[in-house]
Structure 1
Amino acid sequence: MDLAHLNRRGLVLVGCGRMGGALLQGWLARGLAPGAVHVIDPNAPAWVAERGVSVNGALPADPAVLVLAVKPQMMGDVLAGLGAASGALVVSVAAGVTLAAYGRAFPGAAVVRAMPNTPAAIGQGITAIVGNAQADAAALDLAQSLMEAVGRVVRLGDESQMDAVTAVSGSGPAYVFHLIETLAAAGAAEGLPADLALDLASATVAGAGALAMQEGGDPARLREAVTSPAGTTAAGLSQLMDPETGLGPLIARTVAAAAARGRELGQ
């Protein structure tokens, strides 16, 4: 992150909710000067101003970056209320809103769409980015450095991949949280105290995910390593891996529904 450049020209953050707030905390932790940040959000949390960040005040005439961190349903009103981006790099973390839509709002501007996910709140997110034709290598590098404040960043080859990214990693944490819910409920149904079942389910999902990241490669290999023939895991997997009623077809429908909704939001 080019701190000197950002500190000199300033950064405007529109929306300081869960994701915008996580990004702001990450930037400040990396050395961005509070006085260089200008937040637009009528409901900005108190800590933002307490850190010395300008909230709903006068904006710099020529900011280096404009970050849009509002919900896609609000984006139309937000874009209508903003002026021209001038020479600013525009970075959006809203699902569904296309590069073409931003191009109409900010003619000639370099625009980067980014799709982070909620583990960004603890610096463990993963973000996919893609830019428009005006976003050159320097613009993509700057966008990547900004998003790395909350976790890993991957670059897409084409914007058409963004709806699938949204459905897999953007919405994916909610699927995992629901898995924890259902696994804990099933444990309680088998006689475990509810709080113990939840602790076991949460730790199991977190640990298995960490192991998968550490080992890398095909997760089927890890699954097979813990599945003894005719054992308890195999019995459970016989239900999860049923070709008609199991987890595979269910997740396929889940991701397809989320991706389709992303495409609808982009219309």
Structure 2
Amino acid sequence: MAMDDVAARGLVLLGCGKMGSALLKGWLAGGLPPGVIHVIEPRPSDWLRGTGVALNGPLPDAPAVALVAVKPQMMGEALPAMTALGGGRTLVLSIAAGTPLSAFEAAFGAGTPVVRAMPNTPAAIGRGITAIVGNSETTKPQMALAESLLAAVGEVVRLEAESQMDAVTAVSGSGPAYVFHLIEALATAAETEGLSPDLALRLARATVGGAGALAQETGTDPAQLRRDVTSPNGTTQAGLEVLMAELPDLVRRTVRAAAARSEELGRA
């Protein structure tokens, strides 16, 4: 199964909010014909109306993929529109946070291949990372297809077990918010040192964004990058002596709290 199977049989996208829109933009940019994409979205944007996709119309009998991109709290209302696609011929791909594979197996019925995915918000600019895991009905070609579809918005990694999804949620799913807060905190500290709010925010935003890009694009161990910029007895060392005394434990507790909440949501 490959992307040409999607072009031949179609793809159903349930929900076209921020993440659904990011995926759709990536697929269209990658050359997937808009006419083979069937979108179910009760409040379509003007942009969506202008894409040429099949919007809120009849669904194909056995599309290659049915992608669920609605919020978990809307799942009960939205899923009935798609459950007839269960049974084996259509791959169900979910990016709904906190909703386990078992919930989709129950909704779509026995024999349904299901892939659960956790993307993150940098997908909006094609710099996301998505973790995926499939159920026992999912074939290797279907996993490859899910990976190809999600690669439209960034990197994709495969998990060994669904139990790892809570940690992924806590690190990469929730992680952008931690980084945004770091930018806020760094900018506030810069203001305290006498910089204007605009300059403080500009410096903080560019520093965090540039450092992250350097770490990702070079592939260098971040510990080595840290050492490279830290001169003995210099300004960076003075700052790190404060930060490294508290940050590692704070981050551990932050990730644990998010993972614990993800575990709770999965049991709800």
User: Which TM class, normalised by the smaller chain length?
Assistant: over 0.9
| 1:41 corresponding residue in structure 2 | 41
Normalised to the residue count of structure 1, the TM-score between the two structures is 0.95
Measured against aligned partners, the alpha-carbon deviations of 1:82-139 in whole angstroms (never above 9, x if no partner) come to: 3222411000011111111111111211100111111111111111110000111011
- Count matched residues: 264
State the partner residue of 2:232: 229
- Give the TM-score of the pair, scaled to structure 2: 0.95
Unaligned 5+ segments in structure 2 are none
Match of 1:89 in 2: 91
Counterpart amino acid of residue 227 in structure 2: E
Q: Does 1:170 align with 2:154?
A: no
Instruction: Encode CA deviations 1:11-66: one digit per residue, 9 max, x unaligned.
Output: 11011000000000101111111111111111121111211112211111111110
**Residue number in structure 1 paired with 2:6:** 6
Which has the higher mean CA deviation after the structures are superposed, 78-87 or 182-191?
78-87
Query: What secondary structure sits across from 1:43 in the alignment?
Result: coil
Between 72-81 and 204-213, the greater mean CA deviation after superposition: 72-81
Equivalence map 1:82-231=2 (5 Å): 82-86=82-86, 87-107=89-109, 108-231=111-234
C-alpha displacement at 1:8, in angstroms?
2.0
Flag structure 1 segments of 5+ consecutive residues without an equivalent: none
Inter-partner Cα distance in structure 2 for 1:44 and 1:259: 33
Distance in 2 of aligned mates of 1:77 and 1:67: 16
Task: Give the percent of matched residue pairs that are identical in Structure 1 and Structure 2.
Answer: 62
In the alignment, does 2:259 pair up with 1:256?
Answer: no
Return the letter of the residue paired with 2:251. I
The answer on whether the counterparts of 2:68 and 2:95 sit within 8 Å (CA) in structure 1 is yes
8 Å CA contact 1:72–1:265 kept in 2: the answer is no
CA separation of 1:105 and 1:96: change in aligned 2, threshold 3 A: same
1:263 offset after TM fit, Å? Answer: 1.0
DSSP-derived class of the 1:133 partner: coil
Shift in Å, 1:9: 1.3
For the 8 Å contact 1:130–1:157, the answer to whether it is kept is yes
